[in-house]
Chains A and B, each alone.
Chain A
Amino acid sequence: MCRAHATVRELLGALVSESQELTVVDLEAGLENFSRGTPRHVDTLLIVLEPYYKSLETGRRISELAQELKIRRVLGVANKIRSAADESAIREFAGAHQIEMAAFVPMDDAILNADGSGASPVDEAPNSPAVQAVLRLAAQL
């Protein structure tokens, strides 16, 4: 048993299933979480997709593993979108692999600037396009 994965898995089970707490989990990057069943208790999985091959391919594999874990809702969130071509590349990939898209978050210097000053983009740049896109995502979940 990997204790780190097991801890997150059991904590999520307790928070979500037993206590019905609204919970947002920033999972460890990559696939290992999913092969260990860490997120099996979540009801919605958001997969962040960037418009380049490795990111999309990772997203596709996560989506497949999420289906094996029977996660009820799996949605794509495109991030760091620079152009209409980026957006359509992601739409095309998501469509080909049955990933429903929930949001398109633009590339936004305000995020980098907030990171650089050690602050939350919500406080530092509440009106920036990227923050606004995530706020809209929150409203539709």
Chain B
Amino acid sequence: MGGKGGSGKTTISGILARSLGRRYGRVIAVDGDSNPNLALTLGIPPSQLQFLPTLPRDLLEQVPEEGGKTRVQLKFSTKQVIEQFGTSAPDGVRLMVLGRVDHAGAG
């Protein structure tokens, strides 16, 4: 889901994820915004928000390849990532939050 800020991306993402969860039993919802608020739209209570796990910043590792190049890959299996860093929401939705990331100088 993409769009301009304030367009309702998060609201539509949340409703869509809940609906797809009902339909298919399981869906992963990824909050890729650096100011995450998908949780509420998914129906996670406000009291839980401050305890939501976020994806660790060192989720990726550099792996050397032939020819002296490196590539990045996840340190964990997707199953591990989903279990360890996800939060369950209604209708079979599993939320993964990227978390607040300071972009300044991170590029």
Query: Could you tell me the distance between the alpha carbons of A59 and B4 in the complex, rounded to whole angstroms?
Result: 7
A6-B72, A11-B55, A123-B90 known; A24+B27 contact, CB < 8 A? yes
A25-B30, A27-B32, A123-B90 known; A7+B60 contact, CB < 8 A? yes
Query: Could you tell me the distance between the alpha carbons of A94 and B41 in the complex, rounded to whole angstroms?
Result: 27
Is B52 in the interface zone, CB < 8 Å from A? no
Is A101 in the interface zone, CB < 8 Å from B? no
A50 touches B8 (CB 8 A): yes
Is B46 in the interface zone, CB < 8 Å from A? yes
User: Which residues of chain B have C-beta atoms less than 8 A from A33's C-beta?
Assistant: 2, 32
User: Which residues of chain B have C-beta atoms less than 8 A from A139's C-beta?
Assistant: 19, 23
A19 touches B30 (CB 8 A): no
A58 touches B24 (CB 8 A): no
How many A residues face the partner with a CB closer than 8 A? 60
Give the distance to chain A from B27, nearest Cβ to Cβ, in Å. Answer: 5
- Find residues 1-44 in chain B having any chain A CB closer than 8 Å to their own CB: 1-20, 23-24, 26-34, 38, 40-43
Pick the contact of B7: A3, A15, A29 (CB < 8 A). A29
How many residue pairs at the A-B interface have CB separations less than 8 Å? 195
Give the distance to chain B from A79, nearest Cβ to Cβ, in Å. Answer: 4
Is A80 in the interface zone, CB < 8 Å from B? yes
Is B79 in the interface zone, CB < 8 Å from A? yes
Query: Could you tell me the distance between the alpha carbons of A45 and B12 in the complex, rounded to whole angstroms?
Result: 13
Closest-by-CB residue of A relative to B58 is A3
Give the distance to chain B from A123, nearest Cβ to Cβ, in Å. Answer: 5
Give the distance to chain B from A81, nearest Cβ to Cβ, in Å. Answer: 11
Pick the contact of B74: A2, A11, A24, A141 (CB < 8 A). A11
A27 touches B33 (CB 8 A): yes
Is A90 in the interface zone, CB < 8 Å from B? no
Query: Chain B 32-76, CB within 8 Å of chain A: the 1/0 string?
Result: 111000101111011000000001010110000000000011100
Pick the contact of B40: A6, A38, A66, A119 (CB < 8 A). A119
4 nearest A-B pairs in the assembled complex, by CB-CB distance: A48-B3, A120-B43, A29-B5, A138-B19
A binding-site residues for B, Cβ under 8 Å: 1-4, 6-8, 10-12, 14-15, 18-19, 21-30, 33-34, 38-39, 45-50, 54-55, 58-59, 62, 66, 77, 79-80, 105, 111, 115, 118-123, 130-131, 134-135, 137-139, 141
